[in-house]
Amino acid sequence: VHRSMVSTQKSSSVRKHKRRRGNWGGSFMLFFLYSSSSALHSLTRGFTHSPTSSNIARRFGSKICWASPSPSQILDAVDSLKVDPDGFMERIRENNEPGMTPDFLPFFVDGLSLGHIKPSFAEHLRRFPDVFAVTSDAVSLSPELASLEDRSNAVDKATRALAAEGVIQGWRDEPYAVKPSFLAAPSLHVDRGAAACFGVQAWGVHVNGYVDGGPGEGLLMWVAERSATKPNYPGMLDHLVAGGQPAGLSALENVVKECGEEAGVPAALARGARPVGVVSYAAVRPKGLARETIFCYDLPLPRDFIPVAADGEVARFRRLPLERVAALVSATRAVKPNCNLVLIDFLLRHGHLTPDNCPAYEALAAGLRAPPPGCFAPN
Amino acid sequence: VHRSMVSTQKSSSVRKHKRRRGNWGGSFMLFFLYSSSSALHSLTRGFTHSPTSSNIARRFGSKICWASPSPSQILDAVDSLKVDPDGFMERIRENNEPGMTPDFLPFFVDGLSLGHIKPSFAEHLRRFPDVFAVTSDAVSLSPELASLEDRSNAVDKATRALAAEGVIQGWRDEPYAVKPSFLAAPSLHVDRGAAACFGVQAWGVHVNGYVDGGPGEGLLMWVAERSATKPNYPGMLDHLVAGGQPAGLSALENVVKECGEEAGVPAALARGARPVGVVSYAAVRPKGLARETIFCYDLPLPRDFIPVAADGEVARFRRLPLERVAALVSATRAVKPNCNLVLIDFLLRHGHLTPDNCPAYEALAAGLRAPPPGCFAPN
């Protein structure tokens, strides 16, 4: 009963959301005719795509084709953007896009639930009964496979066979550690290209680089514009520093490394980044359930610090008043989807959004931490 | 499938948790025989009660009878307490105690899910078919009752009848506003004593009053010891300021008012309290599902500020290094249960607990926001 309620509410809000979106298709040229803030506001809310389900994949998949105005154009006109009070919650919903919501099966390794598998992919795994036990309720790795090495070898053989047939696409030849939490020992290695089919958890770090302008000015935040040649989310707006978590580094070591590579932040300064919590999301993608946990860091910077795009992944940096960042997040889709979550978290933690000025305050806070996977299942 | 998984995991962790607790019953006298930190540590982890389900109600219900050492004695010996890495997650579980997990029915008013009702209470509501529509899936207020006044009058008549029969206990003669979110207009008023039977949402504010001692010393936090004569949680440790949210005040106005009444914080200083987010919890109590959302505030205080218990609700205040607060939260049950959540949130936001030093980091962050009510249902 309760579970079906949750999914129904979710789907209906998504449908409503899509309907609203649909009204703006084709009006992008108006951006060049009107320069008033309300015209920009209206246009940026609808500038992505027509609302079919394949477009959801296009919008948040690995490649995005931008309609005008581009994120870069929006950034140039940011001073005329207004905050959209409903937009914050829309950004959270987009990151937790339920899509087609197949009834995912939990994936168990040695009694731990380490992923979620689409039923159609589970059918393929039935062909390897020595490796996977597939029931209507769950997929479990054979208990006979007791060591990390045995498990990884057996799964590697099965997944390579499926990759050769084209069932698994995008083989990477790079092992990915599957584990129940960030500091846990891995239970299994799968190829990074196959990881999404098992719906395993990913981890990343995002750094809010900001300057405290004092009582009069408030906070100013550094925003990066991603290079147009990046394979994922080219040209979109990003944090000062953000990245996936590689094996063998602590989260703070990763922050310090990425700070140096992506923004030229000296290590001594970067080590002042303070861990301030977690945002997480779960989205249905073509391959399976994508789940990511982002460790958020606040990095106060000196007023005279200027970031430098050291590795060519950033086209330019800009420093914006927090109010402008709130407008970008809420009224546009110019910001890389998961960065929106980290920025909404920042706006909540720094008192920019408050219980008294934001009707969705509680819903935003709840929405920044992904619900348990069961809540993604349909009724 | 998924739903039952969630509940099963929850129940089994609670069972394990209870088993572990059970070993410490009756050893309290040892506290007076040993003064080493490890003895205090061991004892404080087990000083409450034997692990039967009726004791859960006693522990977190409105009255608590303390075994030795009391929170006051623990506070006096706080310098010898050690942090218990597992304790933070235990505190979160205790606030979300699933107890007997009846299969709650959602309570709908005009299409909004505003509460959760125990099936046994729903059976009583069947006797008022003009007011409540009770099915095996949900309880809905009659759609004929369209205004706040009509709904409240009809529900008042039905609940008064049930109170007269003793089905509803603790009638308060004080209307309580039922609404879908903090800033929403109320959909219904019920008596405060009946609200728990409908499992409606409550709101409160908690203020982390702290002093930044600078790079050498770190943060120091003010902790209140509740008066021994308070009806709820007498003698337990509390925030500088905390309170339920009355109607007609904004959250910040409530913070300023409570700051003045409970701790003698001047209004000009209290208005500097920064809203920093939300913690929420949901616990099965004898009457029904108790759900509360707490708006958390950080209030940096001058080093020379000394709080004053203006209204007699606090026996004494103490200022403790953050490490001591972390030990109190993790290794004892001396802190009022819901304050533990706000303090764990503070430890996460201020970088005391980090992704690299805390194995439960992600679980703590997720646990501070109550899961959707469906996840509380049994399989």
* Domains of chain B in sequence order: 72-98+200-368 (3.90.79.10), 105-197 (3.30.750.160)
Residue where the block lists tokens 């009724």: A379
Chain B interface includes A365 (CB < 8 A): yes
Q: Tell me if B289 sits within 8 A of B116, measured CB to CB.
A: yes
Across A25-39, A317-331, B31-45, which has the greatest mean pLDDT? A317-331
Please, are residues B241 and B223 in contact by the beta-carbon 8 Å criterion?
no
Distance CA A32, CA B116 (A): 51
The residues, any chain, with a CB within 8 Å of residue B261's CB and separated by 6 or more, are: B310, B311
Contact between residue A43 and residue A21 where contact means Cβ atoms under 8 Å apart:
no
- Quote the pLDDT of residue B35: 30
Convert A126-145 to b/e letters by CB count within 10 Å (16 or more is b): eebeebbebeeebbbbbeeb
State whether the Cα torsion B363-B318-B315-B264 is positive or negative.
Answer: negative
Shortest Cα distance from A117 to chain B (angstroms)?
A: 12
The interface residues of chain B toward chain A in range 181-220, judged by CB-CB distance below 8 A, are: 181-184
Cα gap A378→A193, rounded to integer Å: 26
Measured between alpha carbons, how far is residue B46 from residues B17, B39, B80, B220, B359 in Å?
A: 11, 11, 17, 27, 23
What is the ipTM for the molecules in this complex? 0.82
Q: Which residue has the tokens 């109190």?
A: B328
Runs of H (alpha helix) within chain A? 2-22, 30-33, 37-45, 53-60, 71-76, 87-95, 119-125, 148-164, 192-198, 214-217, 251-263, 267-270, 322-331, 337-349, 361-367
Among B104, B276, B356, beta carbon nearest to A250:
B356
Cis upstream peptide for A307 (omega within 30°): no
Instruction: Inspect the interface and report whether the beta carbons of B2 and A251 lie closer than 8 Å.
Output: no
**Cβ neighbours of A5 in B, within 8 Å:** 106, 113, 374
Q: How far apart are the first and last CA of chain B?
A: 8
Q: Give whole-number Cα distances, A181 to A178, A189, A260, A334, B9, in Å.
A: 9, 14, 27, 31, 16
The pair of structure tokens assigned to A21 is 């979106």
Instruction: Tell me which chain A residue has its CA closest to the CA of residue B107.
Output: A2
Output the six-digit token pair for A298. Answer: 């606040």
CA-nearest of A203, A173, A170, A171 to A186 is A203
Peptide bond into B119 cis (omega under 30): no
User: Is residue B294 a contact partner of residue B204, using CB atoms and an 8 Å limit?
Assistant: yes
How near does any CA of chain B get to the CA of A278, in Å?
6
| Closest to A117 (Cα-Cα) out of A190, A24, A30, A38 | A190
Q: Of A82, A139, A98, A90, nearest to A115 (Cα)?
A: A139
Query: Is B375 close to A373, i.e. CB distance below 8 A?
Result: no
**Touching B: A residues 42-61, CB under 8 Å:** none
Q: In terms of CA atoms, which chain B residue is nearest residue A139?
A: B1
Q: In terms of C-beta density within 10 A (0-12 exposed, 13-18 middle, 19 or more buried), how is residue B302 classed? A: exposed
- What's residue A352's pLDDT? 97
Residue B18 CA to residue A203 CA, distance in Å, equals 32
Q: Give the pLDDT confidence score for residue A144 in this predicted structure.
A: 96
The pLDDT of residue B374 is 56
Neighbours of A50 (CB within 10 A): 12
Q: How far is A191 from chain B (nearest CA, A)?
A: 24
Q: Do B278 and A363 touch (CB under 8 A)?
A: no
Contact B294, B278 (CB under 8 A): yes
Residue A266's pLDDT is 97
Q: Which of A171-185, A260-274, A352-366, B35-49 has the lowest mean pLDDT?
A: B35-49
Cα separation, B44 vs A120, whole angstroms? 51
Share of chain A above pLDDT 90, in %: 68
Residues of A in contact with B293 (CB under 8 A): 362
Look at the alpha carbons of B370, B372, B377, B379 in this order and tell me if their dihedral is positive or negative: negative
Residues in chain B within 8 Å Cβ distance of A139:
none
Contacts of B150 (CB under 8 A, 6+ apart): none
Chain B residues inside the 8 Å CB shell of A114: none
Residue B8's Cβ-side half-sphere holds a number of Cα atoms within 13 Å equal to 10
- In angstroms, the first-to-last Cα distance of chain A is 8
Contacts of B104 in chain A (CB under 8 A): 2
Q: Is the pLDDT of residue A54 over 60?
A: no
Q: Which of A137, A278, A291, A295 to mutate to test the interface with B (most CBs of B within 10 A)?
A: A278
Q: Is the model more confident about A253 or about A3?
A: A253
3-class secondary-structure state, position A359: coil
Choose among A111, A137, A108, A134: nearest CA to A121: A134
Residue A249 pLDDT > 50: yes
What is the pLDDT confidence band of residue A67, given thresholds at 50, 70 and 90? low
- Cis geometry, peptide bond prior to residue B69 (ω within 30 degrees of 0): yes
pLDDT at B213 (0 to 100): 85
CB-CB contact of B209 with B222 (8 Å): yes
- In this complex, the residue of B280, B365, B371 whose CB is nearest that of residue A278 is B365
Q: How many CB atoms lie within 10 A of CB A123?
A: 12
Q: Which of A2, A277, A355 sits opposite B106 (nearest CB)?
A: A2
Comparing CA positions, the residue from A220, A200, A202 lying closest to residue A210 is A220
Kindly tell me the sign of the dihedral angle through the C-alpha atoms of B58, B63, B68, B70. positive
Whole-angstrom CA distances from A170 to A162, A191, A200, A243, B340 are 11, 10, 16, 20, 46
Residues 165-184 on B with a CB inside 8 Å of A are: 181-184
The Cα A8–Cα B182 span in angstroms is 23
Q: Is A350 on the interface with B (CB under 8 A)?
A: yes
pLDDT of residue A22: 30
The reported pLDDT for the residue numbered A147 is 96
pLDDT (tens digit, 9 = 90+) per residue, A196-234?
A: 999 999 999 999 999 998 877 899 999 999 999 998 899
Distance CA B111, CA A378 (A): 20
Question: What is the spatial distance between Cα B228 and Cα A331, in angstroms, rounded to a whole number?
Answer: 52
* CA-based nearest residue in chain B for residue A367: B369
Q: Where do runs of H (alpha helix) occur along A302-336?
A: 322-331
Q: List all residues 6 or more positions away from A21 whose beta carbon is below 8 Å from its beta carbon.
A: A46, A48, A51
C-alpha torsion sign, points B166, B168, B169, B171? negative
pLDDT value of residue A35: 30
Q: Do the chains contact at A356 and B252, CB–CB below 8 Å?
A: yes
Please tell me the distance in Å from B69's CA to the nearest CA on chain A: 33
Put simply, whether B308 touches A (Cβ < 8 Å) is: no
CB contact under 8 A, B182 and A366: no
Distance CA B45, CA B334 (A): 10
Mutate which of A117, A346, A356 to test chain B, going by most B C-beta atoms within 10 A?
Answer: A356
Mean pLDDT by runs of 10 across the 379 residues of chain B is 32 35 28 33 37 34 55 93 95 82 88 93 97 96 96 98 96 92 95 94 97 88 95 94 91 97 96 97 87 96 93 92 97 96 98 97 92 51
Q: At what angle do helices A2-22 and B2-22 cross, to 10 degrees?
A: 130
- Can you tell me the distance from the alpha carbon of A101 to that of A90, in angstroms, rounded to the nearest whole number? 18
Among B276, B355, B363, beta carbon nearest to A251: B355
CB A379 within 8 A of CB A4: yes
Low-confidence winner among A23-32, A77-86, A323-332, B76-85 (lowest mean pLDDT): A23-32
